[in-house]
Amino acid sequence: MGLTEIIREHIAWRSQIFRLAKADLMKTYNGAALGWAWAIIKPSVTIFVYWFAFSTGLRGRAGIDGFPFFFWLIAGIISWFYVQEMINQGAGAMRSYRHLVTKMKFPISTIPTFVGLSHLVVHIILLAVVILLYIAGGMMPSIYYLQLPFYMVLMYVFCVGWCMFSSMLGAISKDFINLVRSFTMALFWLSGIMFDIHTIPVKWVQLIFKLNPITYTVEGYRNCFVYHRWFWEQPKLLAAYLCEMIAMWILALWAYKKLRKEIPDVL
């Protein structure tokens, strides 16, 4: 019942979803002197700091498997920037748009969708910048780049499911939002973004990292840019990710059916 209702709401409000995604995107950068440039500046500074710390200061080696560390890093961290925004802002999405929940007859199931779309636009811009950096570094686009939309869709669907689940709980309790934000940095270090998970000597620990859904998209982007592997070459990891995505959406639908009537009163 919940899934059918959500699909109907998305079909009926599809034009408003795109308009609200655009409004959410504009709201993020309105009022800043540099405007849209911040979509590039903020992640660029983060990449530079990590590159300097690990390539020059702490790491002390040229790269990974002969591949320049800087390019290996940006191939994976690009997906993290999107996931990070969805983890943190997703949990507070209902509170951020409480006027849609309390003052309008608006389907709350569509809020995670347009929030995810607005961040996806920024992600695509950053992805274009990464591709240009690769070209500038002498690494021309390959046929494996055709997989990028596939990994992007998987990441988007999973993150929207998370946003649906977490925003419902976040609307009920601010403590949940604070809990999520406190675990974000831990997720960063447990997702194989800064190091090669294939070099972990303990096999069961390596398996845990591989089963992390964030790691799957990080490695997926590196499959396109660095490793040159097709997604169907790792069917077990894909199956595990899809199972985790289904589980995420089961939780999201449970939270939606359980809390949707209470949220307007709480907010």
What pLDDT, in 10s, does the model give residues 73-117?
A: 888 889 998 999 899 888 888 888 887 777 767 788 888 888 899
Could you tell me the pTM of the whole model? 0.87
Express as a percent the part of the chain with pLDDT over 90: 30
With cut-offs at 50, 70 and 90, classify the pLDDT of residue 146. Answer: very high
For the segment 10-40, what is each residue's pLDDT rounded down to a tens digit? 888 778 888 888 777 777 666 554 555 666 7
The token duo for 59 is 């790491």
Phi-psi region of 194 (alpha: psi -120 to 50; beta: other; left: phi over 0): alpha
Q: Name the average pLDDT for the chain.
A: 84
pLDDT, position 53: 67
Interval 136-147 mean pLDDT: 91
